[in-house]
Structure 1
């Protein structure tokens, strides 16, 4: 950002982008900022904004980075009103251990016990006044006029703030290190009677280092942020993975003959598309693979022209749980398969045109558009077309739909019964023997491009743990709950201790 005489007074940014950098988003650091509170997080008579402190702009998020004055939570928002000539009063910021003056090793401070209230106010004692007790006072040196009577409240505020920071383990807290700054005071140790506090001991330093290393580990395995657009994806740290996933999706579309390039027709609406990027996780929450999907903007379709009927059924959750229960009790095999680009397998009855996908325009043919031959994700009729295609194929294998749920297919041959449960492109195969499971998998792979996921472990947000010896199945949503907590961490306040814990 700094101009140089070698570049004729221009900044590197201006040389690279050929424009002067915008200063619109630059605000005075630490100024007052009022963040809008949306209707879903307030009642009718509640405040419409909350006071925060401006901390800058984030690297990979749109908006501003701010700190809530009351909760000390780091929040990100674009709906902010700044008062650059005003600054939040320091009195509103509770004392934080990271900003407290560091004490020497094994220094002790005695908290005076409660004293009976009197009508005569206590005379303030300066912090510099000599005392018989060699232990230093807890009064900050920056304010020599602070009375000793405020010491218990200060330590109690420190204790509450520290305990609150320990309990709150969301990822919005950022660890900062500065070699030039003095070491921060460590977590206090209080005796059972609450009379003494030991600060900055070796044990506390070791424990604090372990906590810091744990925080780094948690940040390293945190869920990857899914970019909203193709352009944003190409600017992230995972740009290579997203580009590879998009190429794989585009290759599947070409191999499937999803469309043909034709001149732009006159008088017809040309639909556009967008890339949707998703990170697939294992049942334990680890990153499995990066996935990209081309989705047409079906909300631009017109009824009677681009589509007619759109309904397609999915399996009911209670039916799926019942199937898993039956499989556990009868000790049946339960395997899972995923159909690659499932919606691309059905042929369209309507005539639909789409612009070439972003990032994959063919050089020299940018003026051409895609005439869809097969269904595509995002089309209103895509789920129905896929369901009809899959149903017809399963019926050709001897399966028939259950009356109670048309997404459960059953086949009985020579007294041997097997099931196939369908939830869009996720297939659950339930059969008595592994040989029969392999037979069904081979038949499906010959017709569709499939991914064999083996024995079911993670399905529709469920983590499935099976104990075949005891014939039980345990279903939980630990990963989903963790993801929800991470998603709403900016809106979850700090936990408050109960009176018994205090």
Structure 2
């Protein structure tokens, strides 16, 4: 549940499901005094179905002790699962679902050692499919994700059980994708998120790669920690080489060879002087000498911005956003109205993409305004989302018929296709950033046509395009492809 406002819809769905499954009706509901339970809409639902509502006193959670203790039980079990497998806390929802799954199947002393699953479903639960949470697993990948020369499985992390599928949830750490597979092999003694003990004890050094090390640094790492200076001068010879840099003159750097030298050629001790220099005062800036792999940094204009703040700084992206906004205005996509009180107002954002030629040069700066349709609610601002899609065998049949009759084949590409679909629902959206109306900055956009990001956008474009084809004489084929 993302918002407390969703309590009404969730409770309504739960009531229908549990009453139909158990053939029993809910008679009483006990909650705290939260506004999500005491609003007029929720009270009307309870009164319409004759459900008594008990509310605990303010700041008295002990009056609802059963729910509070069960909540603590679930949280402590979830933390145990996460800590045992060293899984990051970002995956706490999966841990909570797994905790509830296990708690419902564990016998309880409060119910004569009968599990809640058996009490509710009247059958004994099965335990042979249970596995250790967070262990390494190898799900069988679907044939659409790999070809015959690729591995049939990949190393994943077991993240619990699915409620809708009869399979296991397996997380692929490389791409953060969850596979639901029935055919899965487990290694319950290995946990991918755990750090091996040998890597913890090893001390990480700040030594740079040997390829980029100055000669003096590499020599100090080769020299022993403790040695006799007299014996060292008998074995090693000191010479000088030059390492050129881009920003400063060439300077000598000491090197060491394995030729014997005389005592007279040994380096002289450093003689101190009374002059105060930047080296003595500690204000000497470090010298940058390790730019050996530097070729050319990409310019800011060749990178794709990730947000509006970055894009508005470059004239190319400002022009791209202006062109997109002009196209929306020409299509009559929306009209500005006062913000309504009882409707959800969708947000919107700009997305950016660079299109290149075959030689790698930039072909076009593409900016697109996308509605945040993830907050849409079914039945309020959208109904149907299904849009038929052409199958590859159908395309092959059409090409075969065209070749047989020597017909000409034309390909049509509609620019901003989704913007031509007419909406049948009332949808409100905030004004796009950077293009707010100065006279009506508080108004919102009442959408007349579909926009990218809406759940019903593909279907509305399909309906618009289909109705146009039918109006000029086309008709649906009655052939069924088997």
By relative contact order (CA 8 Å, sep 6+), the higher-ranking structure is 1
Normalised by the size of structure 2, how large is the TM-score? 0.41
Greater fraction of residues in helix: 2
Greater fraction of residues in strand: 1
State the structure with more CA Rg: 2
